[in-house]
């Protein structure tokens, strides 16, 4: 695949610096992946994420008039979520709520919300984050 802006191409890590990594691309070209474009996570040390001669997929972000190629490993792959959203089976909704009026549903919500707030306040107080210990 040609090296054009927006394309995802395969390359090889040819050098690692404290600000990023140089990637050898097809057609004998070389581009730079800035440290901020290596991972979706915070990267403080490039060597913890990349090794010399490692094959990587990169997205071509830009090509300057001087021929400098800006690349991104982070944008070449979709973000992998560590937390998956909870699966909700809407077909098994609470039968009681089907027949409740809006006012009853709102009252139930407010009661549940107040209970959760109280639980959080108790938890904060146990940790020493209560209102008396907070700095204004």
The gap between the terminal CA atoms of the chain, to the nearest Å, is 58
Which two three-digit tokens encode residue 73?
């490993």
Q: Is the dihedral of CA 46, 12, 64, 17 positive or negative?
A: positive
Cβ neighbours for 65, distance < 8 A, ≥ 6 positions apart: none
Question: Does 81 fall in a domain?
Answer: no
Whether 3 is in a domain gets the answer no
Q: Which of left, alpha, beta for 112 (phi over 0: left; psi -120 to 50: alpha)?
A: alpha
Q: Does some domain include residue 108?
A: yes
Q: Which domain holds residue 102?
A: 95-126
* One domain, residues 71 and 18: yes
pTM: 0.57
Number of CB atoms found within 10 A of residue 59's CB: 19
pLDDT in 10s for each residue of the chain, 136 residues: 678 898 899 999 999 999 999 999 988 899 999 999 999 889 999 999 999 999 999 999 999 999 899 999 999 987 666 666 666 665 665 666 677 788 888 898 899 899 989 888 887 777 666 555 555 4
- Identify any residues that bridge with 10 across adjacent strands, giving them in sequence order: 57
Number of domains, the chain: 2
The reply to whether 13 and 64 lie within a common domain is yes
Residues 36 and 65 in one domain: yes
| 106 lies in the same domain as 65 | no
Question: Hey, what's the torsion of the CAs at 124, 82, 12, 63, to 10 degrees?
Answer: -80
Question: Is 82 inside any structural domain?
Answer: no
Residues 68 and 116 placed together within one structural domain of the fold: no
Neighbours of 58 (CB within 10 A): 28
CATH at residue 69: 2.40.50.140
Residues 65 and 16 in one domain: yes
| Residue 34 CB burial class (10 angstroms; 0-12, 13-18, ≥19) | middle
In a domain, 134, yes or no: no
Any domain includes 89 = no
């Amino acid at each position: 695949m040609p090296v054009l802006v927006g394309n995802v191409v395969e390359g090889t890590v040819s050098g690692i610096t404290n600000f990023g990594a140089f990637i050898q691309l097809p057609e004998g070209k070389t581009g730079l992946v800035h440290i901020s474009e290596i991972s979706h996570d915070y990267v403080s040390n490039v060597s913890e994420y990349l090794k010399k001669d490692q094959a990587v997929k990169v997205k071509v972000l830009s090509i300057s008039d001087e021929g400098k190629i800006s690349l991104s490993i982070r944008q070449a792959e979709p973000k992998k979520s560590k937390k998956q959203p909870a699966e909700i089976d809407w077909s098994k909704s609470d039968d009681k709520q089907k027949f409740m009026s809006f006012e009853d549903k709102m009252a139930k919500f407010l009661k549940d919300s107040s209970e959760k707030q109280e639980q959080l306040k108790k938890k904060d107080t146990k940790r020493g984050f209560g209102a008396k210990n907070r700095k204004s």
